Chain A
Amino acid sequence: MSNILEIKGLTKRFGGLAAVDNVDFDVREGGITGLIGPNGAGKTTIFNLITGVYKVSSGNVFFRQKDITNTEPYLVADYGITRTFQNIRLFKNLNVFENVLTACHASAKYGLAESFLRLPRFRKEELALKKKAMDLLDYMGLADRKDAIANGLPYGLQRRLEITRALALDPKLLLLDEPAAGMNPDETEQLMKLIANIRDRFNLTVLVIEHHMDLVMGVCEHIVVLNFGKKLSEGRAEEIRGNKQVIEAYLGGEHAEC
């Protein structure tokens, strides 16, 4: 299978600190790849670099062979990459439905004048948008909460809503930043199943950051391990599990988890 994403020599410096240091790895199309590593390893920073939230210091990001290094975040989304955030970023004062509806916008084309005057195309496309948002909420089991204000949702549902919002963009590649943070083992396992389901149903590729190694082992076909900004190792779950360096890095960092 071909690679949907290729990271080459990616580096990000903050002042003196190299948060990401010359990292290379590929993400295979259609798979679920895990990105793991202790606190401060640079995982979130890599997501920020891929999605154009941070400017790259050096190195490149290729999406389907196209160089997308330092592209504006909204264009990255247009190309087909979306993400969730480690510290959930919903449209807090909007309700669940509006959160998802807003992310559906890419599939509407009506212009400014049509909005001002509520012309026929506006009405037609709005209906389609609303239907799409509702279908997604149904699939993700959030339909009965559609009028709830995002901020007031329980934590687990907020994470779920953030994933739903990302799906509304019809992504080809979905980046999830610690989607299981703060969940108990049961919830986490459910979530991992959901992620696998999503991948199959929407026919997309997933790159997921996870802090707890055991959790990723089950669902990820391929795992990349980072430590202090550098790639420590990469391979299939069982290869990673037995890797001495990885175990050491984790013993050194696990107790500081947050």
Chain B
Amino acid sequence: MAQFLQQIVNGLSIGSVYALMAVGYSLVYSIMNFSNFAHGGVIMFGAYFGFFAMTLLKLPFLAAFALSFTGTALLALLIERIAYKPLRERRAPFLYFIISAMGASIFLENIVIATIGPTFRTYPKVFSRTAIALGSIAVGRLDLIMFFVSAISLALLVLFIEKTKMGKAIQASAYNMKAAALMGVNTDQIVMIVFILGGILAGIAGVFFGMKYTVYPQIGNITTKSFVAAVFGGLGSLPGAVLGSVLLGIIETMVAGYLSSQFRDLIAFVILIAVLVFRPSGIMGKISEEKA
């Protein structure tokens, strides 16, 4: 029982970081209807920004953290302007967006390899590694902080989307981009905001990810799993992305704990295929009849 609870706690902690990443995929999907595979690269940059801010610039953790998510927000925006905006203006089919995203992703990963090399880097110690005992289970400080910061960030995002005028405009655009444009919503601005929001969350996720594991250019491959979580929850649905991520985090740790850690990565893709076969709209998404 204690082991079970322990797994749940570990799962929640990693799931919350997946959620930060998955929300970025879902936000973009809800507005632009394509899977933004460059998002993984942005997350990786977030991890490096934080790392170098702390090691090279010797910034304190919070400043490095802020620098990182500012940087990723700008990077996400830049990618949108360069790689997607021309396609949007041309009303290119979604496949072009995906390929362009792949190009951006390859570029980001390899520019890092080419400039600072493929080595693994370890974050300086910020939080004490001794775990906090909660009854029979032990919770790492970093895990606890990760969980709360993620939860707070996601709560702020929900507040922004539900309560502000801009958030309402995002919802309207997600529902129907053309109709929103007709009603006077500046859709170009909406797209920019969405990329900034996704970028900020990517930066936060990147720093945490780097701290929990290590920093290296292929982190993006692991973020593919958060994409799986977004599909699991229902592409385009924010609550779905969060739920899918938490579930994926828990399932993963359970599989690693009770079966074999070798199946840890595999399970994500098994879930992906199962979801696509049995419920392609995911847990919370819906697929509507295309207008003809």
* Distance between B281 CB and nearest chain A CB, rounded to angstroms: 16
Name the A residues within 8 Å of B292 (CB-CB): 44, 48, 53-54, 85
**Interface readout for A222-246 with B: 1 if CB under 8 Å, 0 if not?**
0000000000000000000000000
**Interface readout for A43-77 with B: 1 if CB under 8 Å, 0 if not?**
01000100001110000000000000000000000
Please measure, in the bound complex, the distance between the C-alpha atom of A53 and the C-alpha atom of B289, giving whole angstroms.
9
* Distance between A87 CB and nearest chain B CB, rounded to angstroms: 9
Name the B residues within 8 Å of A54 (CB-CB): 289, 292
* Distance between A84 CB and nearest chain B CB, rounded to angstroms: 12
Name the B residues within 8 Å of A14 (CB-CB): 289
Per DSSP, are chain A's interface residues mostly helix, strand or loop, or mixed? loop
Q: Nearest chain-A residue to B292 (Cβ)?
A: A53
* Distance between A86 CB and nearest chain B CB, rounded to angstroms: 9
* Distance between A192 CB and nearest chain B CB, rounded to angstroms: 25
**Interface readout for B151-184 with A: 1 if CB under 8 Å, 0 if not?**
0000000000000000000000000000000000
Q: Nearest chain-B residue to A48 (Cβ)?
A: B292
Please measure, in the bound complex, the distance between the C-alpha atom of A45 and the C-alpha atom of B289, giving whole angstroms.
12
Please measure, in the bound complex, the distance between the C-alpha atom of A14 and the C-alpha atom of B288, giving whole angstroms.
9
Name the A residues within 8 Å of B289 (CB-CB): 14, 54-55
**Interface readout for B277-292 with A: 1 if CB under 8 Å, 0 if not?**
0000000000001001
Name the B residues within 8 Å of A85 (CB-CB): 292
Please measure, in the bound complex, the distance between the C-alpha atom of A207 and the C-alpha atom of B292, giving whole angstroms.
18
List B residues 251-292 near A (Cβ within 8 Å).
289, 292
Please measure, in the bound complex, the distance between the C-alpha atom of A14 and the C-alpha atom of B289, giving whole angstroms.
9
**Interface readout for A19-56 with B: 1 if CB under 8 Å, 0 if not?**
00000000000000000000000001000100001110
Please measure, in the bound complex, the distance between the C-alpha atom of A113 and the C-alpha atom of B289, giving whole angstroms.
37
Please measure, in the bound complex, the distance between the C-alpha atom of A44 and the C-alpha atom of B292, giving whole angstroms.
8
Please measure, in the bound complex, the distance between the C-alpha atom of A242 and the C-alpha atom of B35, giving whole angstroms.
55
Q: Nearest chain-B residue to A45 (Cβ)?
A: B292
Please measure, in the bound complex, the distance between the C-alpha atom of A55 and the C-alpha atom of B292, giving whole angstroms.
12
Please measure, in the bound complex, the distance between the C-alpha atom of A54 and the C-alpha atom of B292, giving whole angstroms.
8
List B residues 198-214 near A (Cβ within 8 Å).
none
Q: Nearest chain-B residue to A53 (Cβ)?
A: B292
Please measure, in the bound complex, the distance between the C-alpha atom of A53 and the C-alpha atom of B292, giving whole angstroms.
8
Please measure, in the bound complex, the distance between the C-alpha atom of A55 and the C-alpha atom of B289, giving whole angstroms.
9
**Interface readout for A114-133 with B: 1 if CB under 8 Å, 0 if not?**
00000000000000000000
Please measure, in the bound complex, the distance between the C-alpha atom of A50 and the C-alpha atom of B277, giving whole angstroms.
29
Please measure, in the bound complex, the distance between the C-alpha atom of A95 and the C-alpha atom of B71, giving whole angstroms.
48
* Distance between B30 CB and nearest chain A CB, rounded to angstroms: 19
* Distance between B264 CB and nearest chain A CB, rounded to angstroms: 41
Please measure, in the bound complex, the distance between the C-alpha atom of A85 and the C-alpha atom of B289, giving whole angstroms.
17
Please measure, in the bound complex, the distance between the C-alpha atom of A48 and the C-alpha atom of B289, giving whole angstroms.
11
* Distance between A161 CB and nearest chain B CB, rounded to angstroms: 19
Q: Nearest chain-B residue to A86 (Cβ)?
A: B292
Q: Nearest chain-A residue to B289 (Cβ)?
A: A54
* Distance between B290 CB and nearest chain A CB, rounded to angstroms: 9
* Distance between A71 CB and nearest chain B CB, rounded to angstroms: 16
* Distance between B81 CB and nearest chain A CB, rounded to angstroms: 28
Please measure, in the bound complex, the distance between the C-alpha atom of A48 and the C-alpha atom of B291, giving whole angstroms.
10
* Distance between B58 CB and nearest chain A CB, rounded to angstroms: 57
Q: Nearest chain-B residue to A47 (Cβ)?
A: B292
**Interface readout for B102-125 with A: 1 if CB under 8 Å, 0 if not?**
000000000000000000000000
Q: Nearest chain-B residue to A54 (Cβ)?
A: B289
Q: Nearest chain-B residue to A12 (Cβ)?
A: B289
Name the B residues within 8 Å of A48 (CB-CB): 292
* Distance between A178 CB and nearest chain B CB, rounded to angstroms: 14
* Distance between B172 CB and nearest chain A CB, rounded to angstroms: 17
Please measure, in the bound complex, the distance between the C-alpha atom of A29 and the C-alpha atom of B292, giving whole angstroms.
27
* Distance between B101 CB and nearest chain A CB, rounded to angstroms: 24
Please measure, in the bound complex, the distance between the C-alpha atom of A127 and the C-alpha atom of B144, giving whole angstroms.
73
Name the B residues within 8 Å of A44 (CB-CB): 292
**Interface readout for B65-93 with A: 1 if CB under 8 Å, 0 if not?**
00000000000000000000000000000
* Distance between B173 CB and nearest chain A CB, rounded to angstroms: 19
* Distance between B241 CB and nearest chain A CB, rounded to angstroms: 24
Please measure, in the bound complex, the distance between the C-alpha atom of A14 and the C-alpha atom of B291, giving whole angstroms.
11
Q: Nearest chain-B residue to A89 (Cβ)?
A: B292
**Interface readout for A209-231 with B: 1 if CB under 8 Å, 0 if not?**
00000000000000000000000
Q: Nearest chain-B residue to A15 (Cβ)?
A: B288
Name the B residues within 8 Å of A53 (CB-CB): 292
Q: Which residues of A contact B (CB under 8 A)?
A: 14, 44, 48, 53-55, 85
The 5 closest A-B pairs by CB, nearest first: A53-B292, A48-B292, A54-B289, A54-B292, A14-B289
Q: Which residues of B contact A (CB under 8 A)?
A: 289, 292
Q: List 5 additional contacts besides A14-B289, A44-B292, A55-B289; criterion CB under 8 Å.
A: A48-B292, A53-B292, A54-B289, A54-B292, A85-B292
8 A–B contacts from the bound complex (CB under 8 Å)? A14-B289, A44-B292, A48-B292, A53-B292, A54-B289, A54-B292, A55-B289, A85-B292
